[in-house]
Amino acid sequence: MTTSTVTSTRLFDGYRLGELELPNRVVMAPMTRVRAAAGGLATPSMATYYAQRATAGLIVSEGVQPSSAGQSNPGTPGLHTDEQVDSWRPVTAAVHANGGRIFAQIMHGGRVSHPDTSGQQPVGPSAVPAGGEVFTPSGLQPAPVPRALESAEVPEHVGAYAEAARRAIDAGFDGVELHGANGYLISQFLSSNANLRTDRYGGSIANRIRFAVEAVEATVEAVGAARTSIRLSPGATFWGVEETDVPELYAELLRELAGMDPAYIHLEATADEETLLGLRRAWPGALVMNPSIPMGPKQAGRADADHWLGLGADLISFGRGFLANPDLVERLRTGLPIAPADEDTYYQGGDAGYLTYPAYQHTA
């Protein structure tokens, strides 16, 4: 398929995703907003924020920790207590009331955490710290050395994704997306420098993908394939991770995942286009493509969406565009200007820069 075959309306055509009928192919990508209340609880403001953006074909929530050990950043929500489940119900109900659909992104930070945030030493595949500084309640601090997981402990952390998925469905989410990208726990196991293990979870490609495969498998068993998905960032170097043999690593991972028939794979444009196209050819199921690198210099727009639809993507995710544009779908549809977001308010908390962005104001 070539870009020229894409009609001007394809981004706004409906799409059947698992058991969901999406009204368009625009996905709101997961974005950390650190607006949760104490105890990792979702808030009424979060319900308003997501409901404002319910015209997206699918919303993927901010990263939600599946366990106390999985918390990466302060101010983030969880799905590992009954109180957290209860707090999410008004959020999912508000999205559904506005005609939307929402998946919870399940995010275990692994080594990208700090004792001041989670109350415990971070864990990872090996005792190798993340690159750079991590967010803590008192500000940025050097990333600590994580405790390497014992082989017998790994299934507990695999199971945390599945248990959080069960809780997500109980809270009213339509499905879950496992965060396998951007240097967090699943990504750390895929890595060739964060994962120095010599057991069945390290070394060879077959071993390095095992944690990701088992996490998806457990989640599929818990909530069903149609409600399970995973996000990946091939070749990315977030938080100091490196990956050798990227095309082979991800092609093998996709081959293993294909047999489980998850709802979709969500790829970030962190590798060259040739590599990404190879993964599109290797993946028989639905592909969500994020055309830009998270926090990178370029924000994705309509042209990027049409380009990737022409290359075989099924849905296109937009991150930053949704921050200042709750009506992003309509702006993309009609060619209206995309308002810029105030970066100073990304993580400051409160409703400013969160609920204060209006829909486009037409003037006479």
Whether residue 327 lies inside any domain: the answer is no
AA letter at 205: I
Whether residue 93 lies inside any domain: the answer is yes
For the chain, what percent of residues have pLDDT higher than 90?
A: 93
Q: How far apart are CA 342 and CA 22, in angstroms?
A: 30
pLDDT-based confidence at residue 110 (cuts at 50, 70, 90):
very high
189-222 residue pLDDT tens: 999 999 999 999 999 999 999 999 999 999 999 9
273-321 residue pLDDT tens: 999 999 999 999 999 999 987 766 778 889 999 999 999 999 999 999 9
Catalytic option among 49, 50, 161, 184: 184
Q: What is the mean pLDDT of residues 214-236?
A: 98
List the domain range (segments joined by +) for residue 284: 3-315
Phi-psi region of 303 (alpha: psi -120 to 50; beta: other; left: phi over 0): alpha
Q: How far apart are CA 152 and CA 156, in angstroms?
A: 8
**184 among known catalytic residues:** yes
**In the numeric block, which tokens belong to residue 304?**
């990027």
Q: What is the pLDDT of residue 2?
A: 38
Task: Judge whether residue 5 has pLDDT over 50.
Answer: no
Nearest residue to 160 via CA among 121, 227, 106: 106
Q: Report which secondary-structure segment, H or E, holds 133.
A: strand 133-136
Whether residue 337 lies inside any domain: the answer is no
Q: How far apart are CA 263 and CA 278, in angstroms?
A: 20
Whether residue 129 lies inside any domain: the answer is yes
Are the beta carbons of 59 and 18 closer than 8 angstroms? no
Number of domains the chain is built from? 1
Residue with tokens 């999410």: 88
Residue with tokens 């248990």: 163
Task: Judge whether residue 92 has pLDDT over 50.
Answer: yes
pLDDT-based confidence at residue 6 (cuts at 50, 70, 90):
very low
What distances in angstroms separate CA 28 from CA 25, 105, 107, 156, 321, one per listed residue? Answer: 10, 12, 16, 30, 9
Nearest residue to 262 via CA among 85, 61, 88, 103: 103
AA letter at 69: A
Q: How far apart are CA 320 and CA 219, in angstroms?
A: 28
Nearest residue to 36 via CA among 98, 96, 100, 104: 104
Whether residue 236 lies inside any domain: the answer is yes
Q: What is the mean pLDDT of residues 139-154?
A: 97
CATH number, domain of 57, equals 3.20.20.70
Whether residue 358 lies inside any domain: the answer is no
Backbone angles phi, psi at 342, to 5 degrees: -85, 110
